[in-house]
Amino acid sequence: MTALVTGAGTGIGRGLAVGFAEAGASVAVCGRTPSTLDETAVAIEAAGGRALAIPADVTKVEDVQRVVATIIETWGSLNVACNNAGVNNWVDSVNLSEADWDWIYDTNTKGAFFCTQAEARVMIAAGSGSIINLASMSAHVTNRPQMQAHYNSSKAALVQLTKSLAAEWAPLGVRVNTLSPGYTRTEMADAPRTREAQPIWTRDTPMGRMAEVDELQGAAVFLASDASSYVTGHDLVVDGGFTVW
C-alpha cells in the first residue's frame, strides 16, 4: 500500500503517517518545512515503512500536482491519501479581516479540494483508492473560549465537500471520507495561549481529557483499509464524546 499524508511535518500529520507505516504502508509526506518532513521520514522508517519527503505548499495547485506526480514516478501507485494540512487562528468575527478569511480557506478548503482532485485522478485511473480529509469536530459544534467562525465554517465546508465527492466518485472506485478529531495534544495545542484554554476543553469533554495523537491512528487506518470498503461519504468523529452535548 502506498499513502500520502499532507501537512505531515508535525502533530497529527506526523502521527497519521507513522500509523500508516506501522500498518505496512509506504508513506509519502508533504509540507512546507523540509527539516520537519525529514524528521517525519525518519519516524516512518523507524516504524518499518518506506518514506518519501516532498516539500510542498498545498495552497499552490502546481505543488499539489507535483507531489502526486512524484509519488507515481517513484512508487507507481497511490492507494491512500490523507489530506491533513490545515491552519487556524483565533479572531472574533467583528474583527476578522479578509486576509484572515482567505488564509484559512485557501488551506483548509480550497487546498484540500485540489489535493483530493489530484489524488482522485490517479486513483480513478487505477480503479480504486481511499481519500481521507481531516476535518474537525468544529465542523459540528461551536468552540469555547476561542472565537474561530472562519475555521469552523471551513471545516464544515470540507465535510460537505467530501460527501459530494464521495457520491461523485463511488461508481469510479474511489472512497472519500472525513476524519474529525476533537482536541488533541500537539505542539500547537501546547502553545501558551491554547494551554490556557485546556481546562475548559477538558471540562467540556465527557472523557475528561484531550486525545493523544496515536489515538487517531486506528480511525485513519480503518478508513484507509479494506475494513471500510463499504464506507464512503462518512465523517468519523474522534472527540472523546465532545459533540454529544
Dist. CA 33–CA 48, nearest whole Å: 23
Dist. CA 177–CA 169, nearest whole Å: 12
Known catalytic residue at 105: no
Does residue 192 surpass a pLDDT of 90? no
Dist. CA 162–CA 230, nearest whole Å: 16
Mean pLDDT, rounded, for 3-27: 99
Give me the catalytic one of 105, 151, 183, 230.
151
Q: Report which of residues 194 and 102 the model is more confident about.
A: 102
Over residues 24-46, the pLDDT tens digits come to: 999 999 999 999 999 999 999 99
- Residue 190: predicted pLDDT: 82
CA distance readout (Å), 120 to 7, 63, 75, 235: 18, 16, 16, 18
Where on the phi/psi map is residue 101: left (φ > 0), alpha (ψ -120 to 50), or beta? alpha
- Residue 191: predicted pLDDT: 82
- Residue 7: predicted pLDDT: 98
The domains of the chain, with CATH numbers, are: 2-237 (3.40.50.720)
E strand segments, 182-227: 184-185, 211-212
Does residue 193 surpass a pLDDT of 90? no
The chain-wide mean pLDDT, for the chain, equals: 98
Mean pLDDT, rounded, for 103-122: 99
Q: How confident is the model at residue 104 (pLDDT cuts 50, 70, 90)?
A: very high
Over residues 140-190, the pLDDT tens digits come to: 999 999 999 999 999 999 999 999 999 999 999 999 999 999 999 998 788
Q: How confident is the model at residue 17 (pLDDT cuts 50, 70, 90)?
A: very high
- Residue 147: predicted pLDDT: 97
Mean pLDDT, rounded, for 214-229: 99
Integer Rg of the chain from CA: 17
Enter the C-alpha cell of residue 175: 472512497
- Residue 142: predicted pLDDT: 96
Spatial contact of 141 and 243, defined as CB atoms under 8 Å apart: yes
Does residue 80 surpass a pLDDT of 90? yes
Could you tell me the pTM of the whole model? 0.97
Where on the phi/psi map is residue 28: left (φ > 0), alpha (ψ -120 to 50), or beta? beta
Residue with cell string 472512497: 175
Over residues 118-141, the pLDDT tens digits come to: 999 999 999 999 999 999 999 999
